[in-house]
Amino acid sequence: MTDIKEGNIILIGMPGSGKSTIGVLLAKALGADFTDTDLLIQRRAGMLLKDIISHRGTDGFLDYEAEILLSLNIRGAVIATGGSAVCREGVIDSLKSGGISVWLDVPLNLLEERIGGLEGLRARGVALGDDQSLRGVYEKRRELYIKNADIRAECGELNAEGCCALLLSRLSAFKAKLRE
């Protein structure tokens, strides 16, 4: 089991990778609080993510997201970030605050099945560039996920419970390695 009291576990990854679903399961397994930053952003803005993007534009949304995430003061929680949380420098490091970041790595073909293409992305309120596709978002963010992740969890073929079990195992191994 992994003790989470000293820091957060930050879940990063593409929209549709399962961060919110798996985050709830992981928080329950660890006896930790759970925060979904997309819901927090919507609540603070008083509108859906897609409406924030419509009003502020993609860059304005990313700046707003970063501002909110950098102001969070949460310890000992599992935090499911929006897929774009990695797009502004320092955000993930701030959220980790002595904790661990975990990239839920799901292959592009499974993300396409889960999301349903460009309309699915827009409905979810995904920060897209002009004429950007799911593949374009994936390719642009992949390096950012690699850069910001302490742990990579390949969850594509696993159900939510299986992915949660994998995360618990990887977190324990990661913490054991830190103690060496």
Q: Which CATH architecture has domain 9-175?
A: 3-Layer(aba) Sandwich (3.40)
Backbone angles phi, psi at 99, to 5 degrees: -100, -150
Instruction: Give the least confident one: 25-29, 67-71, 114-118.
Output: 114-118
What are the structural domain ranges in the chain? 9-175
d(CA 104, CA 144): 13
- Contact between residue 138 and residue 126 where contact means Cβ atoms under 8 Å apart: no
Q: Which residues contact 97 (CB under 8 A, 6 or more apart)?
A: 7, 8, 75
pLDDT of residue 124: 60
pLDDT band at 17 (very low <50, low <70, confident <90, very high): very high
Q: Mean of the pLDDT values across residues 126-142? A: 76
16, 66, 76, 107, 137 from 112: Cα distances, Å: 9, 26, 33, 9, 12
48-100 pLDDT, tens digit each:
998 998 899 888 999 999 999 999 988 899 999 998 999 999 999 898 877 89
